[in-house]
Amino acid sequence: MNGTATLESVEYKHIQVRPIAGTMGAEIFGVDLAKLNDEVYDEFYNAWLRHQVVVLRDQDITPDQQVDFAMRLGGIHFHPYMNGMDNHPEILEIIKEPGDKYTFGSTWHTDQMFNPQPAKATMLYAKESPSTGGDTLFANMHDAYDALSDGMKTMLADVKTWCVGDKFRRSGGSRRKDRYQGNLKMAAKVRDAGNLQTESAHPLYRTHPETGRMALYLGNHVQTLEGFNDAEAEPILDFLREHAIRPEFTCRVNWKPGTITLWDNRSVQHHAIADYSERRRMHRITIAGDTPF
C-alpha cells in the first residue's frame, strides 16, 4: 500500500481482528505466514497500518520465510553494529540466558532512530519465552501527539531532535561504529544498504508517510533538540518522554513460542520488560524505512 491509506470502515474477508487495548494493538487471526497469499497479505497490511502493533499467534516459519515476509513489507534495514545470524544476516537472534543481567531493548525507544532512514517496522518472532514475564510494552505516538496542547504543538512544530546511537557504551567505552568495523560480512551489507550512519537529525513531530497522521517521534536515541541549549531542551524532553508513555497510550504483548509481533516504528515506541529469569530467544528483523518528514 503506497501513499496515504484510507483506514476508515474496513471490512475484512479473510482475517479477524481483536484489539488488545483502547489506544492501539490487535491480535490478528486467519494469517498463516507459511502460506500467505496476496489477498490475505493486503488485509493484514491494512490492519497493521490501522492498529500499529499486530500480533500473530502459533506461527511456524523458517528463517527464509521470515526474510521473505520482511522483503514484502519493505526490505531489510541492516543494523550498523549488530551481527545477524550466521546463515541469515538479516535476522538478529536476541537471546537472554538465565542469569544474564542485560535485557536488550529495555528502555523506551524507536528502532534505529539514530540512522537517517530509521527502521519502518520491526518484526519479532518468539522462539523461546519465559513461563511468566518478558512481555513487551508499546506506546502510541499518534495519541501522544494528539493529546499535546495547541501551544506545545505550535511551539515545537519545526523543531528537530538530534539522535545518537552511541549513547549506551557497554564494551570498554568504544564507539559502536568502531566495534562493528571488525564484522566485515555485515559491514558490506550495511554499507550497501547505506545504513552506516549512527547520528541524525529528525523532526520531533513527524508525519506518517502512509496514513498522513502526525506522531511524536521520540526514543532513547534522542540526545537534545537542535537549536536549543541543554538547559532549555532537557525540561522539554523530560516532559515529552513522560507524556509519551502515559498508561492510556500503551498496550502490552505477551509472548509464547510462535508469536510474531509487527510494530510500526513511525508511530510507536516500545520497551522490553526485564522481569524474568528464564531463557528468552527471539528472531528480530527490522524493515527498511524512509527519511522522516
SS3 36: coil
Task: In angstroms, give the least distance from the CB of 4 to ligand SIN.
Answer: 27
Active site residue 284: yes
Nearer to ligand SIN, 103 or 207 (CB): 103
Place of cell 526474510: 67
- The CA R_g of the chain, rounded to the nearest whole Å, is 19
* CB closer to ligand SIN out of 14 and 252: 252
Kindly report the number of other CB atoms within 10 A of residue 268's CB atom.
Answer: 25
CB 85, CB 222: distance < 8 Å: no
- Smallest gap, in angstroms, from Cβ of residue 254 to ligand SIN? 11
CB 264 within 8 A of CB 52: yes
Q: Give the residue nearest to ligand SIN (CB).
A: 105
CB of 201 to ligand SIN, least distance (A): 22
Q: Measured from the CB atom, is 77 or 142 closer to ligand SIN?
A: 77
Enumerate the H helices of the chain as residue ranges.
38-51, 63-73, 141-146, 150-155, 176-180, 184-192, 230-244
Asked if 262 is part of the footprint of ligand SIN (rule: CB under 6 A), the reply reads: no
Residue 88 annotated in active site: no
Point out the catalytic residue in the list 111, 143, 213, 264.
Answer: 111
Within 82-208, strands assigned E span 92-96, 121-128, 136-140, 160-164, 199-203, 205-207
Contact call for residue 122 and ligand SIN (CB under 6 A): yes
Binding flag, residue 236, ligand SIN (CB under 6 A) = no
- Residue 246 is a catalytic residue: no
For position 105 contacting ligand SIN by CB under 6 A, the verdict is yes
If one asks whether residue 104 binds ligand SIN (CB under 6 A), the answer comes out as yes
Active site residue 146: no
How many residues at the interface with ligand SIN, by CB under 6 A? 11
Report the distance separating Cα 202 and Cα 140, nearest Å.
18
52: phi then psi, degrees, rounded to nearest 5: 70, -35
> Which residues sit at the interface with ligand SIN, rule CB under 6 A?
94, 104-105, 111, 122, 124, 136, 270, 272, 282, 284
Residues catalogued as catalytic? 109, 111, 270, 284
